[in-house]
Structure 1
Amino acid sequence: MRVLIADDENFVRMNFKSFMDWERHGYQLIGEARNGQEAIDKLAELKPDIVFLDIRMPVMDGLEVLRQLNTRSDPCKVIILSSYNEFEYVREAMLLGAVDYIHKPSLYPALVFETLNRVRSLVDEERKQTDQFEQLRRNEERSKPDLKALFCKGWIEGSVRHEWEIEQKTKQLAIDLKQPNVCCMLLFIDNYEAVQKRYAKPLDHLVGFSVNNILREIFRKFEQLEFFQVSGNQFAILKSYAKLRSLNDVFEQQWHLIRTIRTALKQFMNIGVSFSVSALHSQLLKVPAAYEEALRASEDLFFEGESSVVFYENVPRRKSANNERGYEDLAKQIRTQAEASKWDEADASLHTLFDTIEKKRDIGKKETLDLSVSLHYSLLETCSEANRDTNGSGFPTIEDIMGAENLALVRQLLATELAYLRGKRQETGISTNLKIQKVLAYIHNYFDHDLTLEELAHHVGLNSSYLSRLFKEQTSMMLIPYINQYRVKKSLDDLLAGKLKTYEIAEKVGFNSADNYYIAFKKVYGQPPNEYRKSILEGTGK
């Protein structure tokens, strides 16, 4: 403990220094002051733990020193030195914060150390409490993100029903959200299961841990934002735009946030993400409604595919029960065609089914998956010879279909299934036939991508030259001309609609230039695209 003596009487200061072994008792006498002003200066310079302070001193008395210490919130403890006739001063000094006093006529070592030890116990106890408080504060700071997440999860689920609850908790947990213009964004990792497989169990939880850390870091630059992990592959972002009044400004800021997140997660984790975004709400009390809207919007990510963003305002309102019957009829037609080994027709019907679902979007994700599972079962029943040989064969399972993240993957799974069943019906060339069907299914699903012979060969595990020869044998066409022909046929709807420019149509169906599209189109229909469209519209086309 560091001790300072402040007394204008020289012999008192000398007695303090000489009549005891300070260090042996655990104290260090660090200085002395001859008046109140000097005491103030020494206190600021030396920062003692305890000061013996005479009440009556020149320049500035002890009471004024105490008053100044109070204005500075100085933590040192003051023991007053007084004479017998200074009781009123002692009383005032105690009211000003002195912790003990000693009468100068009783100034002897035993009393001094008794008083010092009493004050030291007080200092030690206060320090202990301060340390405990600081530890609690640090623990609270560390646990605040968890407490925030826990509260926010309950909030979006509707457990917070009153404005006063929101006001209390947002203040307590330092939640940075304001009214109006409040929205909820949901973030989903694309190909989540594949991303998880990068980490061996039991470390697959590190995906969410890593995403949380990256988001926490980039969100330091954003105000009025809170985020938390709702479940394995669902991260919620609550964001308010209280300072903005223009919807266009809000929309631009939402896209800026989305682009920032995408860039960071791609850079640091090499993952893609998709988003669903609620409408804007005027009150924080509407956060549960915003979350429900974002959830409903997330259903449409199934139709959009990877790296998509769906806004709630753009989600179609569906009456699924009225729309399912037409799709069920198409599914029955596919079964009938497969039963009759009309595989080309079945494949065409399958793509018609999914093209229609994708275009109309008049049934939801659940209804689409239910329909696909039903078709899966009916095809297996129809082609009973395949039932005995599907385990471990790469044949799609119920789990594959129900776990598919998007419509394109469901389409691919069922196209693969048709190709597999077609192969099983063949008496000869089962293996090679299946590979060609897989190539066809892949082309039909990804015709708008930059397909290459090498990519297709890798997809079915063959070398390029052998695949090229095999494809020609089984389809009577070379592979690349077949792809171009399929692209040309897929372009007809857009060409006849006349809403897109020719180069835009070419790009949409997978051609890398408008010239290549012109050449391929003329080979298929004998005319360039614009002349063909004109002839059709004039009623002279064949």
Structure 2
Amino acid sequence: MNELCRVLIVDDEILVRQGIKYVLDWEREGFQIVGEASNGQEALGALHTLKPHILITDIVMPVMDGEELTRIVKRDYPAMEVIVLSSFSEFDYVRSTFQNGVADYILKPRLAAGALLQVLQKTRDRIPALQAKPAFKEQRQSPESLLSRLISGYELQAEDAGFLAQQFPHGQFCFLGCGYAGTLPHGEQPAEPPFRTAIAEALSRRLPGMVQLLIPAAGQNRLLLINLEAAQWGEAVLALQELARTYAGNEPGLRFSLSRAFGGISGAAAVYQDSYLKLQQYRFYFPGEVLLVHDELPPLAAEPPKFNLGQFTEQLKRLQLEEAFAELRRHVAELRSYYDNDVFQYKSFLGNIIFNVTNQFGHIKALEDEKYDLFRSIDEAPHAEAAAGLLDAFLDRVMEESFLAAPAAGSHANMKKLLEYIEEHYAEPLSLTELARHFHFNPSYLSSLFTAHNQEGFKEHLNTVRTDRAAELLRAGEAPISEISSMVGYGDHSYFCKVFKKYTGLSPSGYRRQFYGQE
């Protein structure tokens, strides 16, 4: 039997993964996509199970980037080939991956079917295990591959649609998802969810004649399409509830999601989008539910009103912290109860609050030093309660630090004016000499005064203000990165990138991609 060349796609953007999956007719070209991952850590967890011949990986990703992934793969799986995806701005990173044995690279702006196929074929020719195989012959796509295309919104040819429909003898369908919640200690990866063994067998015993089809899904998640008689639906839910209770004790991290039922394979795409993927989002607000059933969700609370950020900011300026933080915590609790709230929006709200608070208390260096680590922790929070807990701890820290940093009697009255002037004119070519001239100070005296009252020098403070403003513009996602440097006062774009990475640990493009889902 001819062997397909197995491919694993690794990219933090689902649209990029979808584009790669459907730019080629993979199986007819002799390749098979065996899975997806949204970062390097997910990919490493899937390698032993999926055993791909080729990895197609992005460079800039959260948790573990493509550079580190490539290094580990070539160390632990030397026969596995790696193809890197990059943009023009990331080419310096691509060069470093070639030192670790990357086979080739593809520029995202030029990701066309012909170019991708050419790189894949050239890379496949490097794999000794595939060289002894006879030339691959064109064949019909598998039911799994056809269903994967269907639920992603691609229209099937009439012949393929008819072939897929023939695989299912019963009139009712549903999707069952299974995966692990959170991460294990010390970076360990969980085992593959036992779909092919205990779960599948248990369902088959309880539901005779039921048809199950395993669909490739991202990361550690596994997705089944279940086809059964309408009269078996109640029994199916009971069987899954019993399985969930069993696994809650034996494997406490395992989670199940059951979509609403639907009739006819043609409805698979709509139910996948409107029911199954919604359940995956809702799970962020129901971390303790082992089995989440679409038809048994609690009534949805009213959508919370918009948070009054203006009033909150005014309370911060007046140091009315207890009142401000009490109202903020009440609002976050409402957001957690509204489980239809987009996860990205929930995390973005928490990040924006932290950004505004640290901006207001910029003179407290401890808060400034920790805010970007806090952004990352919130972005990686596995559920709403964990993210809210991070915010709570931050607010407690602000209360403590603001009390300790209260200005002593006789502190320099002009310091506030200096800081306000920098806040208003940061986009101009400011220097210590110009600031001293404006306020009629000796530059040396001003430098000492600034450091004494701010725990950092003038230049460091100006870079902090500019970096914060640049981060805000990157978060807004409207201005091109090439223009942001001049908007915040840097005439040299490369110097801006260097300063931004020094203060945040990320390049501007990496910051935008990691925290706000944009290139």
- Please classify the TM superposition score into its range, dividing by the shorter chain length: 0.3 to 0.5
The structure showing larger relative contact order (alpha-carbon pairs under 8 Å, at least 6 residues apart) is 2
> TM-score normalised to the size of structure 1?
0.42
Q: Name whichever structure is richer in helix by fraction.
A: 1
> TM-score normalised to the size of structure 2?
0.43
